Amino acid sequence: MQSKRGGFALPMGALAGIAVAAIFHMRLIIEEHIGKTQARQPNVGGMEAEDILYLLPLVTLFRQLVPFLVLASIGAPLFALWASREMLALNKNPPA
């Protein structure tokens, strides 16, 4: 069965993938500037943002890949914008 979003799967996946790569790159730069301990991401219940990937087996098992892809194509770029804002703030106010 073809999803209505089937034609958008490749661009959405590329957008999410590029955003995730950008996030990792920016987080690495931030860690190099202020150290790994200070650069820790906020967590809820001991889980960090990237721990969402542990849900992929369940997403696949319950055949929810399309909703996951839609959410990833929205959430990853938004988080990349947040990370870029954090990185730019660091560049304006470098650590002492």
Digit-coded pLDDT (tens) for 32-81: 888 877 777 777 888 887 788 888 999 999 999 889 999 999 999 999 99
Task: Of 64, 94, 62, 71, give the one whose Cα is nearest residue 19.
Answer: 71
User: What per-residue confidence (pLDDT) applies to 19?
Assistant: 97
User: What per-residue confidence (pLDDT) applies to 35?
Assistant: 81
Domain range annotation of the chain: 51-96
Query: 10 Å Cβ neighbour count for 79?
Result: 17
Can you tell me the distance from the alpha carbon of 90 to that of 54, in angstroms, rounded to the nearest whole number?
30
Is the whole-model pTM more than 0.75?
yes
